[in-house]
Chain A
């Protein structure tokens, strides 16, 4: 089959690889009808996420038709239409039973690596680092879904792939980012990053009743899309003093809730700490750039909440722990517990409350994937979200 394969830093190729096979009785194989390139795939593309190996098949946002089912899988049958959550969940461990699916205790087949990197293993992820299992991803013609009897979202016919695909990741990720804020009608919610997750977080915060939503980015078309979704926007190229601007917009008090939809590759042209981060990262003295986290801590209203759906992989430096502690901030983080939110979100799509396809800017075939990784990474051609039709 054809698949997008990681070969090294900024080296993704459309290769022919072996078709996946059933390896366990709970598995299923799907014929991928749609998949997407995620912002966190760019962390792999740029090789800021450790634990990648040449030959890894990328992609963790996929949906399709079940074409083969393991003998112990009683939940699926051939022909079922499913969206595949990016977190692989056994459905049986204590964390899964609590609904903490992204920290499933059994689905990471490289548990020792996960234990070493993060203290305790987290869930297996598709098409991601070997720290999270090194499972083949969904930017391919076919995908093996481990623990498929619990790792799936059955979706009805009659609704387009475009509306449903983002149940795999960015819609529930933006939603969880907002839910983690426990939004109240008096809240101002500031959201850093207007990529796909940021766009979903903006709409989620609005739907959940935030008084104001303020979105921060520098790419004009992303800011325009954020405004379309009901956000006030700050272009940090025009107004680099984000902390000052947010304080001005909130009578000096700061936003009650702050969401980091950027993660470890924060950009900030000219900011001293951003240059410092980039230099340290280049010298392998830290893995992640914490510019957004620092701003959030400094600007959040005391006793407020920081929500971090943006992905971090390792270590950061110059972390303002004093401000974080003394301001009494609550920090909520985590990969997304996808299945915890998807029944509700699917209903909202079916009811027409929201149509997540608004974020799609490019639709391509697999063979165009390598080029689109570059275009997406460089934020060119108005690119915000790429859907692939294998």
Chain B
């Protein structure tokens, strides 16, 4: 075999903006925080739905609040357990919209708890902002490849075209303990 003329590929350096140090970015940390918050809020909604509804003047919606609690717990667990929390943070944004819509239905003239409702709405709006910031940050730190961004079509590892390399290592003697024992060999008609 002649000496290779294959040129070593030009490797890429680290992606720009690589922070070094620890593995978690602040958006990862924020996602984990939101995950724990989601679980906590969900448990509160599940166990204290009646008290919450009474405080917000939303009587009669206890079952709905408990359903939201299940959603919050499930989302929180998914955020903490998934490799990539991005879709679950986006799901939280959708959930925030549901929460805000539900709270909005309580702003009626005969609701004596409108001040509590306004505080709750402001809190949910604040968390929504955090969710959106987190989702944007997580998406932004991905280094997604555009189709065709990387061209590895010349990376055969061979000095000659790959199709000409078939059997080039035929000088290799497979060790006896790596060969299929003779009596067990199938397709013997194909063996010279």
| Residues of A in contact, count (CB < 8 Å) | 74
A46 to B178, alpha carbons, bound, how many Å?
33
Whether B83 contacts A229 by the Cβ 8 Å rule is no
Contact status of A352 and B3, CB under 8 A, knowing A359-B155, A368-B20: yes
Q: Using Cβ atoms and an 8 Å threshold, which residues of chain B touch A44?
A: none
From known contacts A162-B8, A348-B169, A357-B9, infer whether A367 and B156 are also in contact, taking CB-CB under 8 Å: no
B172, A373: Cβ atoms under 8 Å?
no
Q: How far is the CA of A362 from the CA of B12 in the complex (A)?
A: 4
Q: Mark B165-192, 1 if CB is under 8 A from A, else 0.
A: 1111110101101111000101100110
Distance A365 CA – B13 CA, assembled complex (angstroms): 9
B105 at the interface (CB under 8 A from A): no
B contact residues around A230 at 8 Å (CB): 156, 162-163, 165-166
A180-B2 contact in complex given A362-B13, A380-B142, C-beta closer than 8 Å: no
Any A CB within 8 A of the CB of B132: no
Stretch at the interface among B54-62, B91-99, B144-152: B144-152
Residues of B near A304 (CB, < 8 A) are: 186
Does A19 make an interface contact (CB < 8 A)? no
Q: Complex formed: what's the CA distance from A367 to B22 in Å? A: 9
**A387 part of interface (Cβ distance < 8 Å):** yes
Against B, the Cβ 8 Å flags (1 = close, 0 = not) of A355-376 are 1111111111101101111110
Q: How far is the CB of A253 from chain B (nearest CB, A)?
A: 10
Q: Does A210 contact B (CB under 8 A)?
A: yes
A208 within 8 A of B: yes
Which chain A residues lie closer than 8 Å to B12 at the CB level? 361-363, 381-382
The chain B residue with its CB closest to the CB of A210 is B166
Contact present for B15 and A11 (CB under 8 Å): no
Bound CA span A370–B19, Å:
8
- B5: A residues at CB distance < 8 A: 352
Given contacts A99-B175, A185-B167, A229-B156, contact A372 B144 (CB under 8 A): no
Ordered by A's residue number, 26 sampled pairs between the chains whose C-beta atoms are within 8 Å are: A99-B177, A162-B11, A179-B172, A179-B175, A184-B187, A184-B190, A186-B190, A207-B166, A207-B168, A208-B172, A221-B145, A225-B155, A228-B155, A229-B158, A302-B186, A330-B184, A344-B172, A353-B4, A353-B168, A360-B11, A361-B9, A362-B12, A362-B13, A363-B12, A378-B83, A382-B150
- Sort A-B residue pairs by CB-CB distance and give the 3 closest, nearest first: A352-B4, A230-B162, A382-B150
B-side interface residues toward A, CB under 8 Å? Answer: 1-6, 8-9, 11-15, 18-24, 81, 83-84, 142-145, 147, 149-159, 162-163, 165-170, 172, 174-175, 177-180, 184, 186-187, 190-191
| A residues at B contact (CB < 8 Å) | 10-14, 46, 98-99, 160, 162-163, 179-180, 182, 184-186, 199, 203-204, 206-210, 220-221, 224-225, 227-230, 256, 282, 302-305, 330, 332, 340, 344, 348, 351-365, 367-368, 370-375, 377-378, 380-382, 384, 387
